[in-house]
């Protein structure tokens, strides 16, 4: 009998095959074609068609119809996500997470190409790819760090021109900054902290000031005969000389302090000379002997704070100075003798 087969064919032809997955449709189309062929042969009296063949045909057709709910999923969102993923430049991201992303992208593409992929599979592929994309960590911006490092490296060859204080901190900060620069997965916080620290240590470096002019002036004043000046003028010169010497010996003195010491000492000398009517050329602290001769030291004159012969510390030689009181007493005695002779 072919009645069951005939009815099975009728049911199959009425089935909704919209969006049914490819493998089911392939099986459905073959089962329906085979069933129609067997039915036609049976109705034509073909003795080669057996009841077993008829029964097997309708059973296969009914079995296939049970898979008609295996619908293709909606891949539109997955397609959009895959396109976005393909546009990413992995060079912009740190190494961690790259492999997981690439695996998820490959799996998503397979689902897109799979004609049997249903919604659950599509949804899973979408979620896995989205998670992998979100787990990618973009490389931090190292532009500022690189710029500060480049500036710091221009200082390194000239570090001998800077005071010792702060040098080691600067070198340590530069080394640390280079480590962060070369670190593949450095965070923005690490990068910012590195260049901030390096820039701070750079700003705290202090150039060794040029003390040449101060040294020359101190040595000139140390050879002057102050006995020709009034007591107040002598006091001003000695005070300015002491202050200038202190700045000269101060390893942490700034260029501004050095320049100020030069200006103050020169001003004290100029003022003293003006009071005696012996104006000196600006920038040259001359020597004046008791006879009023300018330009050479008197054989009997007293220096501003003791000559080198009397043990005054030279800005150039660093000899140990006599006590200030002794130098003052000697100057006063010589001044008294000069006044007596006049």
Residues 286-299: tens digit of each pLDDT:
444 433 444 433 33
Residues 198-226: tens digit of each pLDDT:
999 999 998 888 899 999 999 999 999 99
Mean pLDDT score across all residues of the chain: 82
Q: Which of 91, 177, 92 lies closest to 141 in space, CA to CA?
A: 92
| CATH 3.30.450.40 at 143-203, yes or no | no
pLDDT at 320 over 60: no
Q: Which of 61, 57, 74 lies closest to 18 in space, CA to CA?
A: 74
Q: Is the separation of the CB atoms in 301 and 286 below 8 Å?
A: no
Average pLDDT for 291-313? 37
pTM: 0.46
Assign 182 a pLDDT band (cuts: 50, 70, 90): very high
- Inter-axis angle of helices 167-182 and 143-155, to 10 degrees? 140
How far is residue 92's CA from residue 138's CA, in Å, rounded to a whole number? 6
How far is residue 180's CA from residue 199's CA, in Å, rounded to a whole number? 15
Could you tell me which residues are beta bridge partners of residue 288?
A: 294
Domain ranges of the chain: 3-65, 76-135, 143-203, 212-341
pLDDT given at position 226? 92
């Amino acid at each position: 009998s072919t009645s069951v087969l005939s009815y099975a064919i009728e049911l199959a032809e009425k089935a909704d095959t919209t969006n049914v997955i490819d493998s089911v449709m392939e099986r459905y189309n073959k089962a329906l074609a085979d069933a129609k062929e067997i039915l036609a042969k049976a109705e034509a009296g073909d003795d080669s068609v057996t009841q077993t063949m008829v029964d097997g045909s309708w059973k296969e057709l009914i079995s296939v119809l049970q898979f008609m709910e295996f619908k293709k999923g909606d891949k539109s969102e997955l397609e959009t996500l895959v396109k976005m993923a393909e546009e990413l430049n992995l060079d912009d991201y740190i190494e961690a997470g790259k492999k997981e992303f690439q695996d998820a992208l490959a799996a998503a593409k397979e689902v897109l190409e799979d004609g049997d992929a249903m919604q659950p599979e599509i949804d899973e592929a979408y979620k896995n790819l989205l998670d992998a994309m979100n787990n990618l960590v973009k490389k931090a911006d190292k532009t500022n760090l690189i710029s500060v490092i480049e500036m710091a490296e221009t200082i390194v060859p000239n570090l001998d021109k800077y005071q010792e204080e702060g040098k080691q901190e600067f070198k340590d900060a530069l080394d640390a900054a280079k480590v962060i620069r070369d670190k593949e997965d450095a965070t923005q916080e690490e990068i910012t902290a590195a260049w901030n620290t390096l820039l701070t240590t750079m700003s705290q470096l202090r150039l060794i000031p040029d003390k040449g002019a101060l040294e020359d002036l101190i040595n000139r004043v140390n050879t002057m005969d102050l006995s020709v000046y009034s007591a107040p003028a002598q006091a001003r010169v000695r005070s300015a000389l002491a202050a200038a010497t202190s700045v000269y010996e101060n390893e942490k003195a700034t260029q501004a302090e050095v320049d100020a010491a030069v200006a103050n000492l020169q001003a004290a000398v100029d003022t003293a000379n003006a009071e005696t009517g012996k104006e000196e050329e600006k920038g040259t602290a001359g020597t004046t002997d008791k006879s009023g001769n300018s330009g050479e030291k008197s054989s009997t004159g007293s220096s501003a704070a003791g000559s080198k012969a009397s043990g005054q510390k030279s800005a150039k030689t660093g000899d140990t100075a006599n006590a200030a009181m002794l130098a003052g007493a000697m100057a006063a005695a010589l001044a008294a003798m000069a006044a007596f002779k006049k």
